[in-house]
Amino acid sequence: MSRRKLEKNLLEWVVVAFGFAAVLVTLGYLGWEAAQGNGAKPDLRVELGRPAASSALFLVPVTVRNLGGGTAQDVRVTVLLERPGAEPEQVDLDIAYVPRGSHREGWAAFHTDPASGRLSGWAAAYATP
């Protein structure tokens, strides 16, 4: 019984080489991503936009940017409205997940017009996965 030698044409070799290269590139990228995330911490910045009146409330757009190398989860953002001679009005905004290098948006709702006072916002708490 004679065995027939299996011959591969050029197209088959190109496909095999391309598949092998794709696997190597993917593994390299995943390794690089894993190495970049080690020990990096989130760096959260809170930006407040211009207030807008709604039917019964005043809405302030809130943007949370993560400029750090780590991911933040369960982020609690505090937005404070301070007016002269009045009690401060505080709104807490919870954001589930802010990956590194990304941003998330939300709204803070106030009963009083924010134009009558001073707004400030900060990331009060977060966890790292």
33, 26 Cβ separation under 8 angstroms: no
Q: Name the more confident of 36 and 98.
A: 98
Mean pLDDT of 21-50: 87
Q: Tens digits of per-residue pLDDT, 69-122?
A: 889 999 999 999 999 999 999 999 999 999 989 999 999 999 999 988 999 999
Q: What is the CATH number of domain 44-127?
A: 2.60.40.10
Q: When comparing pLDDT for 6 and 62, which is higher?
A: 62
Q: Of the candidates 94, 90, 107, 93, which has an alpha carbon nearest to the alpha carbon of residue 51?
A: 107
Instruction: Look at the pTM and tell me if it is higher than 0.75.
Output: no
Residue from 116, 53, 122 nearest 85 by CA: 116
Q: Which of the four pLDDT bands, split at 50, 70 and 90, describes residue 38?
A: low
3-state class of 16 per DSSP? helix
Element (H, E) at 79: strand 72-82
29: left (phi over 0), alpha (psi -120 to 50) or beta: alpha
Distance CA 74, CA 125 (A): 8
Q: How confident is the model at residue 11 (pLDDT cuts 50, 70, 90)?
A: confident
- What span, in angstroms and rounded, lies between the C-alpha atoms of 71 and 43? 9
Which one has a higher pLDDT value, 40 or 52? 52
The pLDDT assigned to 43 comes to 95
> Does 3 score more than 60 pLDDT?
no
pLDDT over 70 at 6, yes or no:
no
Proportion of the chain above pLDDT 70, given as a percent: 91
User: Can you tell me the mean pLDDT for 17-38?
Assistant: 85
